[in-house]
Amino acid sequence: MGGIDTEVTIAKFSTVTDDKGKVFEHVEILAETRDKSLGGEEFDKVIVDMMVDAFNAMPERKGKVSVRTNEKAMKRLFKEAVKVKDILSANKVADVKVPELLDYVTLRTVLERSDFENNSKHLLDRISRPVEEALSISGLTDSEIDQVEILGGGLRIPRVHELIKAATNKHELMVHLNGDEAMCFGAAFIAANSSSSFKVRKVYLTQHP
């Protein structure tokens, strides 16, 4: 789960032997699914909504227009939301302070992880769908999946972790991949593996329709 979407891939790792008896690694992509609008940014919006409600409810804002009408103030809230999300990933409570957010009024509020999760229910309810779809496409059951490797900033949310564990029936999720490098490294390796101009360890890649 990255900032914009959630992608699920089921891959099978094995070996193949060519006609000369040489053994090569073989990666088969058995299924790929995607939820195009389920990413970290959607959870940021939930936190922004919570901060907007808290700010608009302050006594100093009584009778005044919503902070949503001010583009500059909203940009500051979106920036703050990223920080708050990280705090709530490690703590159950986040103290929020945005100095002079609008009309010299400072936003001071406390956001709880439980409220964040409740307000994110419409997003959390979608977590298992791409997993279930990928399993259906591959023809496998969760018990036939040996390992679940997670990648992306959106997966730092504890409740997302719990739901993926439940969807895959796994007690532990693996984090061997570097989120900042994995995509680029994989793309570069596939390009080099397919080219005659680069010398890399040969890996066969099969992608099922």
pLDDT of residue 154: 81
Q: Phi and psi (nearest 5°) for 94? A: -130, 125
Angle between helices 158-168 and 128-138 (to 10 degrees): 30
Nearest 10 degrees: CA dihedral of 31, 121, 86, 6?
A: 20
Tell me if residue 204 falls in helix, strand or coil.
Answer: strand
In angstroms, the CA 127 to CA 109 distance is 29
The residue-averaged pLDDT of 96-104 equals 96
Taking the C-alpha atoms of residue 42 and residue 98, their distance in angstroms, rounded to an integer, is: 21
Residues, the chain, total? 209
Q: What confidence tens digit (pLDDT) does each residue in 4-45 have?
A: 999 999 999 999 888 888 888 899 999 999 999 999 999 999
What average pLDDT score do residues 172-178 get? 88
Reported confidence tier of residue 184, pLDDT bands at 50, 70, 90? confident
**pTM of the entire predicted model:** 0.87
Judged by average pLDDT, the poorest of 38-47, 52-61, 146-155, 162-171 is 146-155
We find that the CATH architecture of domain 40-112 is Alpha-Beta Complex (3.90)
Q: What integer pLDDT is reported at residue 107 of this predicted model? A: 97
Q: What is the pLDDT of residue 153?
A: 81
For 130, list phi and psi in degrees, rounded to 5.
-65, -30
Per-residue confidence (pLDDT) for residue 209, from 0 to 100: 65
Question: Is the separation of the CB atoms in 132 and 164 below 8 Å?
Answer: no
| Alpha carbon distance 100, 73 (integer Å) | 9
Task: Give the Cα separation of 122 and 117 in Å (integer).
Answer: 10
Q: Provide the mean pLDDT of the chain.
A: 92
Mapped onto helix, strand or coil, the DSSP state of residue 17 is strand
* Per-residue pLDDT tens digits for 64-94: 999 999 999 999 999 999 999 999 999 999 9
What CA–CA distance (Å, rounded) separates 83 from 181? Answer: 22
The predicted pLDDT at position 98 comes to 97
Domain boundaries, the chain: 6-38+126-207, 40-112
180 confidence band (pLDDT: 50, 70, 90): confident
* Distance in angstroms (rounded) separating the CA atoms of residues 75 and 81: 10
Q: Which of residues 22 and 122 earns the better pLDDT score?
A: 122
Higher-confidence residue of 206 and 32: namely 32
Could you say which architecture CATH assigns to the domain 6-38+126-207? 2-Layer Sandwich (3.30)
Which segment of 55-64, 135-144, 179-188 scores lowest on mean pLDDT? 179-188
CA dihedral 152, 154, 155, 157 (to 10 degrees): 150
User: How many whole angstroms separate alpha carbon 176 and alpha carbon 207?
Assistant: 23
Look at residue 139 in the predicted model and tell me its pLDDT: 95
Which DSSP state fits 152?
S
